[in-house]
Amino acid sequence: MSAKSQSREAASLLIKGGHVIDPAAKINAPMDVLLRDGRVAEVAPPNKVRGSADEEFDARGLIVAPGFIDLHVHLREPGQSYKETIASGTAAAAVGGFTSVCTMPNTAPVVDTADWVAWLRHPERGAVVNVFPIAAATSRSRGATLTDFAALQRAGAVAVTDDGKPILDDEVMRAALRLGAELNLPVVQHAEDTRLTAHCSMHEGPTSFRLGLRGMSAAAEANIVDRDVTLAQQIRESRLHVAHLSTSDALKAVRRGKRAKARVTCEVTPHHFTLLDEDVGEYNTNFKMNPPLRSATDREAILVALADGTVDAIATDHAPHATHEKEVEFERAAFGITGLETALALAITKLHREHKIPLARIVELFTAGPARVFDLRSRGSLARGNFADVTIFDPKKRWTFEAAKSRSLSHNTPFDGWQFTGKVVATIVSGRVVYRAE
């Protein structure tokens, strides 16, 4: 982060010479972008911006996109600041090009009251990008008693979830979707039938059998998604969002819901479109997360769904853990990996270069897609009057990711030392440059 740009509060900034990709506005062309007073003032063809600016950003050779939105991060506050803080996690988000992150409530304590939602949004937390809390759907996320959705929403929660755990009980899930429908609040499901996954530490398949590890079946995810989609179809105006979808069969259920015009959305993580269960190798705990890395068939289905529009967003499920929680027996190791700083690079390297998914679609998965999922108004597009959240990246830049240099407090990533193509050059939040690559 350049100290200069942070200290100087430029009232206006002209991003000049770049190529704008703004899927929501159907723009994919060389454009200049003028930001003023925290809003988008003007987007116009090269040298056609009429207004003047205090400062200019030379974006020649770069892509200028709406600020990226991550629907799924664990910033570990309150209570687990040894893993991550809102300050450190949002700094990592800025490096990864994310101008907005949605935080999961499975902290200590669980974010199940309006007070905690307000606490998360308080300026004292030191966030450098926008933080949108997702609150717990049930008290202490125990899956039994619904929280006060209306109060949570008033305090700023953009959705509810028991992430880390599923809302397993049919009646509780039905009630959550009903209440969500009344308030137009999405219910985010961590789809895992935990009755089938006790003591499991990876995907069920040849690799888990070889390693002697108990495996989570694909059905343990798909069955819950299937049930939830059915409920979403039954309950008018209910909104279901499937978190970190990882299996081919769960995708089939989502497609069924979408065809029936139910308000069903889903997200996919970079690690699930990149890695396979067999990459766990000889018990490498940086490849242990939940949902687990799946089979080649599942990954193939995810790649198709990312390309064809079934998937609404790429979300990182950034899940930092301390070294002592990972350098243990595989079965005892914590689930989860960091992901904020490698998401775009993986999307460009894997989805764009290897699988030929157009850049515009990738930008959509980071911007307009997620903005729609949680109704983040005036974000996800560079339409005039929107918040001046902008991500500028070089789609051709080759670089090597070094976990040790990560801004996250934790370094539990499977991508240490990976060579990538595509790198964030600058991240702008409300017109202010919060990250600029050296």
Contacts of 287 (CB under 8 A, 6+ apart): 275, 279, 280, 281, 293, 337, 414
User: Smaller CB distance to other proteins: residue 281 or 309?
Assistant: 281
As beta bridge partners, residue 435 has 427
Beta strands (DSSP E) in 110-244 are 130-136, 159-161, 187-189, 202-203, 215-216, 239-242
Shortest distance, position 420 Cβ to other proteins, whole Å: 20
Closer to other proteins at the Cβ: 166 or 205?
Answer: 205
For residue 327, the minimal CB distance to other proteins (Å) is 6
Residues of this chain that interact with other proteins (CB under 8 A) are 204-206, 209-214, 281-284, 324, 327-332
Closest approach, Cβ 196 to other proteins, in A, equals: 13
Q: How far apart are CA 387 and CA 319, in angstroms?
A: 28
Q: Which of 226, 277, 312, 317 is catalytic?
A: 317
d(CA 339, CA 72): 10
Q: Are 93 and 129 in contact (CB under 8 A)?
A: yes
Q: For 48-78, give one letter per residue: b (16+ CB within 10 A) or e.
A: ebeeebeeebebeebbbbbbbbbbbbbbbbb
Q: In terms of CB distance, is 45 or 281 closer to other proteins?
A: 281
Q: Which is nearer to other proteins, 50 or 324 (CB)?
A: 324
Owner of token pair 């400062």? 55
| 38 in Cβ contact with 10 (< 8 Å) | no
- CA 62, CA 393: separation in Å to the nearest integer? 6
Using the minimum distance from each CB to other proteins, give the nearer residue, 213 or 382: 213
* Closest separation in Å from C-beta 280 to other proteins: 10
Nearest approach in angstroms of CB 210 to other proteins is 6
Rg (CA), the chain: 21
Tokens of 197: 């996954």
For residue 250, give the 3-state DSSP assignment. helix
Q: Which residue has the tokens 């974006």?
A: 59
Minimal distance, residue 200 CB to other proteins, in Å: 12
58 included as an active-site residue = no
Tell me how far, at minimum, the Cβ of 328 lies from other proteins, in Å.
6
Q: Which of 5, 9, 14 is nearest to 52 (CA)?
A: 14
CA distance 36 to 13: 7
CB of 395 or CB of 414, closer to other proteins: 414
Asked whether 102 and 133 are in contact (CB, 8 A), the reply is: yes
- Distance, CA of 421 to CA of 432 (rounded, Å): 26
Catalytically active residues, by annotation: 317
